[in-house]
Chain A
Amino acid sequence: QKEVEQNSGPLSVPEGAIASLNCTYSDRGSQSFFWYRQYSGKSPELIMSIYSNGDKEDGRFTAQLNKASQYVSLLIRDSQPSDSATYLCAVNRGGSNYKLTFGKGTLLTVNP
């Protein structure tokens, strides 16, 4: 079983819709969870972090964490064409947050 799994996509949504990105992880000891956005040929950029079960909202982005199900998701409301990118899910076991385990990413396309 892969450590962090994401649907590779592409996920295609119309402008203004809600985009839902999902991620599962295998290590029950994981404590910190991150979503990075990566435009083609650019650097990964942290957009959300979540550490406890439940929802965390930041603007149009909501991260959801369910440790019992080993599941973390990212919702993007009112999707814009500029949201079109690859979204990387990353988790870490704890202690120090630098040793992240990344999924392969989900390519999101928002159609005008």
Chain B
Amino acid sequence: NAGVMQNPRHLVRRRGQEARLRCSPMKGHSHVYWYRQLPEEGLKFMVYLQKENIIDESGMPKERFSAEFPKEGPSILRIQQVVRGDSAAYFCASSFDRNTGELFFGEGSRLTVL
């Protein structure tokens, strides 16, 4: 029973390029969450998605960041025109129910912007 799968695990981009991070939730989970961990900071909530819907994007930066969870395929966090400040670990989590309190996290995608 595979856990939350994220790829790539490591991604290097130059300033101005685009980064795409993918997340496949645990089998049977329909709720996906993205968190970001900046250097020396705690994990911070970015966005909550269900299939084809963004439920809560209150933690997403206003520009350059977008997320989707299509009917088929993984959830994608997209960062356009990356800047050095985007360098961080991006964690995806999933849950069976939004209210259980138990989020299952993936191992993260570490983005480095040169």
Contact = CB atoms under 8 A, between A and B. Distances in A.
B86 interface: no
A101 B37 CA distance: 12
A36 to B, nearest CB: 8
Nearest to B105: A43
Nearest to A36: B105
Contacts of A104: 40-42
A1 to B, nearest CB: 14
Contacts of B103: 46, 97-98, 100
B44 interface: yes
Contacts of A102: 35, 42-44
A4 interface: yes
Contacts of A46: 102-104
Contacts, number: 64
Do most interface residues of chain B lie in helix, strand or loop, or is the interface mixed?
loop
Interface residues of A, number: 24
Nearest to A105: B42
Interface in A29-67: 32, 34, 36, 41-46, 49
A68 to B, nearest CB: 22
Q: Which 3 A-B pairs have the closest CB atoms?
A: A97-B101, A102-B42, A43-B105
Given A43-B107, A46-B103, A97-B101, 11 more contacts: A36-B105, A43-B3, A43-B104, A49-B101, A88-B43, A96-B98, A96-B99, A97-B103, A100-B43, A102-B43, A102-B44
